[in-house]
Structure 1
């Protein structure tokens, strides 16, 4: 069937005119003829290539082909909530974006991000003579629309939460905002990821085989991807690391062929997660050689392999494809099919057209980090705020004159950016936001704990010895970033410490586009105890002690972990740093003696204050993508506990003893089991990782200038004892749709400084299966303040095996002045009324439904209106 399909594609291209291209003027080959379709142009270009030239285009670092005037292009760029480069606008982490329940805002955010991406791309082309390197392209590996099924997953912060419907709506909004609406050209290409059954654990992702029912795939894991492709028209999609029911995600017949290509009609290209094709051989052992693994991935529909981050100088990344063709595992026609998809995408991005004909090449550079964009980042951050508890202390009264701010995160800015982030030139911390919002108040700040606050204190050089016992460390410099392949040696020497600056770097390394250095030796502590150790770096950095990973990170900043050292005993040390051109030359080995106890200064500040604001939570250095974390409650980027970290819990309880009103501000990317805070704090504000204007948005919410209306996109559980085993992908007793316990805070929950009421819910009493549903309800602001309300429509289904307890199927964020009423209208398509049978078949079932529209889930304290609906007959829905 595959060969027949490939022949059919080839025949179709011939019939539409490709066969006549050879007769065209040699000065203007067909692939440069803008009157042809992008597919025709791509096919013409591909047929002119040699096998090796073709292979060089199958990897993320696509090489230049000078004789065909094909520039080098790196397919790897990131834009999860802002372009992942410097001097760009940065929005809240996606879990915070989801809490806005505002698809219009996410769509416009996508427009802003892609506008800045186009500007950065044009700048890169000018700088690089027409080529673009990593993070400089127009293909962006976002959004992450995996389902956040378990709060322990470290990358859940990157998603739009636990609900397939909400995730689908947010994903479509992001994709369409990014890609634009020009009939000929993409602004950029969006890449929903990681297709599809992928949400931890992080340490096992390269070899794990997820066992999942067809019901859970159709009901939970696939719908958001289906929406992004069939409705959002995403031009690309990324396949995952893990295997699903015995087949690796990047070689899955069910996902890539049956669903994506056949059922959904996807015409774009598939990119692999980075290293996922290598995992097919090396992790999953699905094929006995790398050539065979690469072949089966391409045959099943993977078109572009993400193979390397650092600049590649040999052919190790693309050679397996040449081997696969030459050894008979991979028909060259399948290579052509993949390349036609890839070059069709580049044609639609305008990469082979005169720049003056492409509308997105002329965007005003002044839009980068413009006031308009920054203001929108603040608007979205304000919309993302979720008020979890308030006994009346908020908004803070104007007469509050003495504010104590405690907690390790209040003055930090890195925490606001989450992960997969760019670096804006302007970031507002909570402390700075409070000072601006309350200029007449005395604000006293005491961090209160060393936790999450490593100091940039250089490791004492007298504690370090080289492998052969001399003072200092052995430093080995190599060409390339050095964390994927063994770098080519440049030079080595003994250095007294890890303290690399522009003036201290060897000239031989400084001249390279990228270089790496590895320091090795020993630490010998003069006192037994726990220590924070790490590296302050601008680049890739990692620290290992006694051959165990302790700290690792990307980009500028401190990356730390905790170790225990015994007086007089040598501990083996290895520090790695990878530097890319144009980054700062910075790598400092830091350490601090660890003391987690609450500081007396914080307690004293609380005692003297009128109100205490505690900024606590976790950061993306604790939860994230496959990384070493040495703190209790965390493992490999995931969490083993969802409790507040103990040093912060101790601090909050210590300052609470002062008896002053206590406002807890949470910064985090996943649910925290704040049981004590719910019982004892006066107010709790969930702020997430809120972006460059996060501090301003939080402060405005505390003052009442922003009336919070965000809603939880995830369930807050009371603890891990309410959760199934993390590695179990069954949805039984997971998320609000299938959880039978009582959560700490439910999905869809959020308070306001005003109140709302719902009435006059109008729906038809009966529908025939397959007919759409129209619903109207009147929402009234019954309070004294203007504010937003998020009207949420939930369905409760007939008692049919496979049906969830309830499911969100529509929502709308509306603004109402005090006393104002507004009629809110919803239209539900047949798929919105559908469910999935126990066997995995999507359908609209006959029977009685309950329709509830309100400020939260039915059965909670949220105001709502309810009506019954009967659907006559049943209808099978297409997969």
Structure 2
């Protein structure tokens, strides 16, 4: 039966690709000609259908059965009205009323839905979108890499590109064509639950990692190995009021253009991202989903974006039922489309109300054509008309050995050694009996947010990794359960008692992110907090285990920075593992026992507490003009911080010029020496400050970095080119300029002032 289904689908695919009287079916013609030919054949209903994205039938089955009567009455839950079931969705697909699907998690369902879509009059294939944030992890049976915040800790764009390329292959094997990633928001509030989905707090690092990710996904967008990237969320959602996802963002246009816009612009202008998703929030009083300035003036007008814009989940409806800028759904659809929206992510009434708006003359059909033209262009470039189905017998790409190896390599490069007073690396001959405890010690939660449960055989927990790496050590495990909010005091007491019998103790703490228990999560999308302390009895667990008097180290598994000030003051070692993915347990164990020398650095500042928010390294000079009292004003760990099992010394920072013109260039060189006894990799960071300027500038800005692998005792001259772009700023009229004056170059292992070597140069009048 399976073979018959595949043969039938392949036959249908062949028909769709065979040149005939309709030029849009002729793959030898240009994409532009095919699009225009198809567009002129389409009815209004078919055009609006291309702008409609809907959930898959299995998602409807799973969710409609768990909603209560009260939940069904809410606007957000209207997607699961009684009567809107799988049969209705399949009928709409055959009528050409759905142009895209999301939340489809198996190739079998994707092929089934595509088969119904291809039965429509014109046979326009659907484009399948999925939240493939760190691998296609939201679907079972795929490689799960570290989440973006861990990947950013590697400061390795080439690694990001490789992961994206592998993810694209696994997606296309499942008939998925479009990933809602990279998230290139700049995270400035640790209370916000989606920090782990971002590449951190620095606009330039975020831009670099996002660009490599986009390029990895898309390739040349001309083969069955490519997928469409989606830069999100545009814009300001990462600095919301009270750190709450979707809350208002009020920032100046200067802050937008200096901090939040650059990663998006880089991914659009340099990376050619094929799609963009607008943000849940309102920006300076205007919801992003109806913000014409963002979508038309900036995105298309200034940056020349030629892809399509998609809404976030039912956020166009929120213009009516949340933001209250539209009186009803019809008005909400009108406002969003006229502001530049191209595709609606899920919800009822889209097709009927948008067609009404066109027939009433409120929305010109030419405006609909513009959106459909962009969507069809993506479908043609992805080869969907020629290859609408996945081969169910060709799934070997998923979880292949090459991809598993990349996941392990990425996990090794993402783990940050925050503190080490000589305890690490562990000596298996010295510590023969080790207690392991904590909510994340033996749980699939290491997979991170945006991940489905995977086959346990494919996931290495931290406890499993320890036993693999150190088989001669006795590991006593006290299970604290997976839920930090409902820890058992008796289990905490048991761990405290067993800690006294051990040679060493490992507490694996942090947060819970797995989506299969949506309401129990403490970190991730829509899981924001009013503080950044450890949840539940975890702090008590750490203190009681440490009170044993035996060496105790802390491993953190989490997606947001956590204020672990007590541990930083009292424990000899702390490891930040972030959400390291399916190979994370092995990578953490290898680092703890010294098989791997840690190299990662923090892409985001770790505050001491929520009271320090907003704390970030690239602040303005007056940010800390009046220091706080009664506490340490410095963050717990600064941006760029990360330790190694060797040591590195910086010396002899030199500049090629003392003076340059505004359009001139110079080079900075520094000697980096591995002064320790083992090989290691150092992430050399270069920062620049404009010392005196017509508008205030940050005290330092990351402008370059380099991963340098050095043998023990080896020295190397590391060279950076400083370009006019690195020195540019926005003047009082928000125009880019390189102002004459003195600039400071800073090079070192982190953003901490005392660790940086400095030199100055001058930009002269032209």
Question: Do they superpose with TM above 0.5?
Answer: yes
Task: Name 1:445's counterpart in structure 2.
Answer: 477
- C-alpha deviation, 1:98, in angstroms: 0.8
- C-alpha deviation, 1:237, in angstroms: 0.7
Paired with 2:517 and 2:616, the residues of 1 have a C-alpha distance of 23
**CA contact under 8 A between 2:447 and 2:579: conserved in structure 1?**
yes
Say which of 484, 497, 500 aligns to 1:604.
497
Paired with 2:22 and 2:387, the residues of 1 have a C-alpha distance of 14
Task: Name 1:378's counterpart in structure 2.
Answer: 408
- C-alpha deviation, 1:367, in angstroms: 2.4
**CA contact under 8 A between 1:98 and 1:713: conserved in structure 2?**
yes
- C-alpha deviation, 1:340, in angstroms: 0.3
2:234 aligns to what SS in structure 1?
coil
CA distance 1:103–1:362, shift in 2 (3 Å): farther
- C-alpha deviation, 1:598, in angstroms: 5.2
- C-alpha deviation, 1:211, in angstroms: 2.0
Say which of 637, 652, 665 aligns to 2:527.
637
Paired with 2:233 and 2:516, the residues of 1 have a C-alpha distance of 13
Paired with 1:82 and 1:646, the residues of 2 have a C-alpha distance of 31
* Structural mapping, 1:208-287, within 5 Å: 208-287=247-326
Task: Name 1:582's counterpart in structure 2.
Answer: none
Task: Name 1:471's counterpart in structure 2.
Answer: none
Cα-to-partner distance string for 1:275-295 (whole Å, 9 max, x where unaligned): 111112322222333223212
* Structural mapping, 1:29-48, within 5 Å: 29-48=22-41
1:408 aligns to what SS in structure 2?
coil
Task: Name 1:484's counterpart in structure 2.
Answer: none
Cα-to-partner distance string for 1:172-204 (whole Å, 9 max, x where unaligned): 010001111466777111001111111265999
- C-alpha deviation, 1:333, in angstroms: 0.5
Say which of 636, 651, 654 aligns to 2:541.
651
Task: Name 1:163's counterpart in structure 2.
Answer: 202
Cα-to-partner distance string for 1:33-79 (whole Å, 9 max, x where unaligned): 33332122112211111111111111113253645442452543121
Task: Name 1:411's counterpart in structure 2.
Answer: 442
2:424 aligns to what SS in structure 1?
coil
Task: Name 2:94's counterpart in structure 1.
Answer: none
Task: Name 2:638's counterpart in structure 1.
Answer: 746
Cα-to-partner distance string for 1:611-640 (whole Å, 9 max, x where unaligned): 11110111225xx99975698x99961011
Task: Name 1:133's counterpart in structure 2.
Answer: none
- C-alpha deviation, 1:669, in angstroms: 0.7
1:192 aligns to what SS in structure 2?
strand
**CA contact under 8 A between 1:214 and 1:839: conserved in structure 2?**
no
Q: Does 1:70 align with 2:70?
A: no
CA distance 1:182–1:257, shift in 2 (3 Å): closer
Task: Name 2:52's counterpart in structure 1.
Answer: 59
- C-alpha deviation, 1:324, in angstroms: 1.4
CA distance 1:215–1:36, shift in 2 (3 Å): same
Say which of 145, 166, 189 aligns to 1:91.
145
CA distance 1:190–1:842, shift in 2 (3 Å): same
CA distance 1:116–1:207, shift in 2 (3 Å): closer
Task: Name 1:297's counterpart in structure 2.
Answer: 336
2:174 aligns to what SS in structure 1?
helix
Q: Does 1:835 align with 2:725?
A: no
Paired with 1:180 and 1:316, the residues of 2 have a C-alpha distance of 36
* Structural mapping, 1:97-136, within 5 Å: 97-121=151-175
Give the structure with the larger strand fraction. 1
CA distance 1:799–1:204, shift in 2 (3 Å): closer
**CA contact under 8 A between 1:761 and 1:777: conserved in structure 2?**
yes
1:421 aligns to what SS in structure 2?
coil
Task: Name 1:759's counterpart in structure 2.
Answer: 651
- C-alpha deviation, 1:795, in angstroms: 0.7
Paired with 2:709 and 2:258, the residues of 1 have a C-alpha distance of 32
Paired with 1:842 and 1:802, the residues of 2 have a C-alpha distance of 14
Task: Name 1:721's counterpart in structure 2.
Answer: 611
Paired with 2:148 and 2:589, the residues of 1 have a C-alpha distance of 21
Task: Name 1:336's counterpart in structure 2.
Answer: 369
Paired with 1:645 and 1:838, the residues of 2 have a C-alpha distance of 45
- C-alpha deviation, 1:421, in angstroms: 2.1
CA distance 1:300–1:428, shift in 2 (3 Å): same
Give the structure with the larger helix fraction. 2
- C-alpha deviation, 1:813, in angstroms: 1.3
CA distance 1:184–1:791, shift in 2 (3 Å): same
Task: Name 1:515's counterpart in structure 2.
Answer: none
1:392 aligns to what SS in structure 2?
coil
Paired with 1:843 and 1:185, the residues of 2 have a C-alpha distance of 43
Q: TM-score, normalised by structure 1?
A: 0.73
CA distance 1:625–1:147, shift in 2 (3 Å): farther
Q: Does 1:737 align with 2:619?
A: yes
Cα-to-partner distance string for 1:233-258 (whole Å, 9 max, x where unaligned): 11111111212123221221221111
Q: Does 1:660 align with 2:559?
A: no
Task: Name 1:816's counterpart in structure 2.
Answer: 710
State the superposition RMSD in angstroms: 2.8
Cα-to-partner distance string for 1:8-52 (whole Å, 9 max, x where unaligned): xxxxxxxxxxxxxxxxx9933121233332122112211111111
**CA contact under 8 A between 1:665 and 1:684: conserved in structure 2?**
yes
- C-alpha deviation, 1:776, in angstroms: 2.6
**CA contact under 8 A between 1:88 and 1:422: conserved in structure 2?**
no
Q: TM-score, normalised by structure 2?
A: 0.83
CA distance 1:307–1:70, shift in 2 (3 Å): same
1:713 aligns to what SS in structure 2?
coil
1:165 aligns to what SS in structure 2?
helix
* Structural mapping, 1:523-542, within 5 Å: none
* Structural mapping, 1:392-791, within 5 Å: 392-399=422-429, 400-413=431-444, 415-425=445-455, 426-447=458-479, 449=480, 452=483, 595-596=488-489, 599-620=492-513, 628=519, 637-723=527-613, 734-738=616-620, 740=624, 741-763=633-655, 764-791=657-684
**CA contact under 8 A between 2:188 and 2:239: conserved in structure 1?**
no
**CA contact under 8 A between 1:153 and 1:202: conserved in structure 2?**
no
Paired with 1:641 and 1:111, the residues of 2 have a C-alpha distance of 37
**CA contact under 8 A between 2:428 and 2:472: conserved in structure 1?**
no
CA distance 1:407–1:817, shift in 2 (3 Å): same
1:229 aligns to what SS in structure 2?
helix
How many residues are matched? 673
Cα-to-partner distance string for 1:592-618 (whole Å, 9 max, x where unaligned): xx7446533212221111111110111
Say which of 669, 688, 697 aligns to 1:795.
688
**CA contact under 8 A between 2:661 and 2:764: conserved in structure 1?**
yes
- C-alpha deviation, 1:326, in angstroms: 1.9
CA distance 1:430–1:635, shift in 2 (3 Å): closer
Paired with 2:482 and 2:454, the residues of 1 have a C-alpha distance of 26
**CA contact under 8 A between 1:203 and 1:636: conserved in structure 2?**
no
Paired with 1:812 and 1:363, the residues of 2 have a C-alpha distance of 43
Paired with 2:359 and 2:727, the residues of 1 have a C-alpha distance of 51
Q: Does 1:388 align with 2:418?
A: yes
**CA contact under 8 A between 1:716 and 1:746: conserved in structure 2?**
yes
Cα-to-partner distance string for 1:152-172 (whole Å, 9 max, x where unaligned): 001111000111111000000
CA distance 1:364–1:204, shift in 2 (3 Å): same
**CA contact under 8 A between 1:387 and 1:750: conserved in structure 2?**
yes
**CA contact under 8 A between 1:292 and 1:329: conserved in structure 2?**
no
Task: Name 1:322's counterpart in structure 2.
Answer: 355
